[in-house]
Amino acid sequence: MALCNRDLTLRGKYKEIAKKTCHLHSGHDGRCEEFPYLSDFSINHPRVANKIKRDSTKTTGAAWSSEDAGPNRIDRWVMLQSDETLLNYGINMAGLKPGVIAKLREKSATYEDCMSVAVKLTWLAYQMPDAPACPESIKVYLEARIGTMRANSTTCIICRSPLSFSLFENAQRGKAEIETAHSSPREHNERNVGFAHRECNIAQGNKTLDQFYDWILGISNRIGKEKI
C-alpha cells in the first residue's frame, strides 16, 4: 500500500529533529492525516487511541517522576540523536545515570517504525475478543498494511491467552492491566510488538520471548523431575 507521505506541520520543542507525515493512501481525497486508522477509536474509545499513540511513539515513563529520572515521555526518534544534538534541546545526557541513559537509548526507534507499531497495535486491538466492530474503511486500511483480520484472535504475546478489549480500555495510565510488549525487548517495530498482560510483561523482563520460553521450560523440567 503506497502512502501519501506528505510532510505535516510540526509543532513543539523537537520540530527540527522530528518528522510527521500523512499516512493516508497516496492520492487520497481531503486533508492529510497522521493516524487515519485511529479515527474511530479517537471518537468512541479515546483512551485506547491515546494509549496506542503514546505507546507507539513515546519512551515510557510512568515510574519516572523523580529528579534524576531524565526526560519523561519523549518521542522515541528524538532518542536517536547524539548527546550533542540533545544538549541543544535541553537534554543533558551526560548528567544522567548510566542506567537511565541505557533505558532511554533502548527505547529509541525511527519515526517510521513507531508509525508501523501504531498500525499494528490498532490492528490487534480490533481483534480482541470483546472489541467493537471495525468500520469497513479502517479494516480495509489495516488489512492492506498488516494482513487479514480474524475476530477474537488477539492473545497475550507472552502467555497466549485471549486479551479483553474492555480490560485494555479501562486501564489507568501507569496501571494498565494490558501493556504493549516486545518479543525482543529492545526492538520497537511492527514485527516485534504486541499486547501482553502486565504481569506477563513483568515476568518476561529483559528476556526475549524465546529466552523466556526456554527459561520456563527449564523450570518445568526441573519441577517434573523432582515430582517423579
- Count the Cβ atoms, other than its own, within 10 Å of residue 136: 8
- Count the Cβ atoms, other than its own, within 10 Å of residue 24: 19
Minimum CB separation of residue 62 from a copy of itself in Å reads 14
Residue 155: helix, strand or coil by DSSP? strand
Instruction: Pick between residue 191 and residue 213 the one whose CB is nearest to a copy of itself.
Output: 213
Minimum CB separation of residue 102 from a copy of itself in Å reads 15
- Distance, CA of 69 to CA of 74 (rounded, Å): 12
Instruction: Pick between residue 31 and residue 160 the one whose CB is nearest to a copy of itself.
Output: 160
Task: For 226, list phi and psi in degrees, rounded to 5.
Answer: -70, -30
- Distance, CA of 153 to CA of 147 (rounded, Å): 13
Instruction: Pick between residue 133 and residue 223 the one whose CB is nearest to a copy of itself.
Output: 223
Minimum CB separation of residue 83 from a copy of itself in Å reads 26
- Distance, CA of 228 to CA of 166 (rounded, Å): 42
Minimum CB separation of residue 128 from a copy of itself in Å reads 17
Residues found near a copy of itself in the complex (CB under 8 A)? 66, 158-161, 199, 202-203, 205-206, 213, 215-220, 222-223, 226
Instruction: Pick between residue 21 and residue 184 the one whose CB is nearest to a copy of itself.
Output: 184
